[in-house]
Amino acid sequence: MTEHLKPCPFCGGKANMTTEACLDGGGRFAYVRCSQCKAKSREHYHSYGNDCPVMYQTIRDEWNTRTALTPTPQEAAR
C-alpha cells in the first residue's frame, strides 16, 4: 500500500486522482486519470460526502497494479 501513483502504463504521463460529480447529482465518481492520454482506472462511486481514505487507497492500488489496463479506442485517439 502506498500513496504514490505510478506513471501511466501507456504513455508514462503523470497520473492524477480525479473526482467527478455523478450526472444524477446523487454522488461522485473517483478515479485515477492520466494527465496526458486520459487513460482511466475503474471508477468508484460514492454517495455525496461519503468518500473515505480507504476508497482512495483502493483506487490507487488498482491503478498501480493494473498495468494491463487497456484504453478504449476512443480514449487512445484523444
Kindly state whether residue 30 participates in binding Zn ion, applying the rule CB under 5 A. no
Least spacing, CB of residue 15 vs Zn ion, in Å: 8
Q: Identify the residue among 36, 43, 44, 56 touching Zn ion (CB under 5 A).
A: 36
Q: Is 9 helix (H, G, I), strand (E, B) or coil?
A: coil
The residue with cell 465518481 is: 29
Least spacing, CB of residue 18 vs Zn ion, in Å: 13
Kindly state whether residue 22 participates in binding Zn ion, applying the rule CB under 5 A. no
Q: Please give the residue ranges that form the binding site for Zn ion (CB under 5 A).
A: 8, 10-11, 13, 34, 36-37, 39
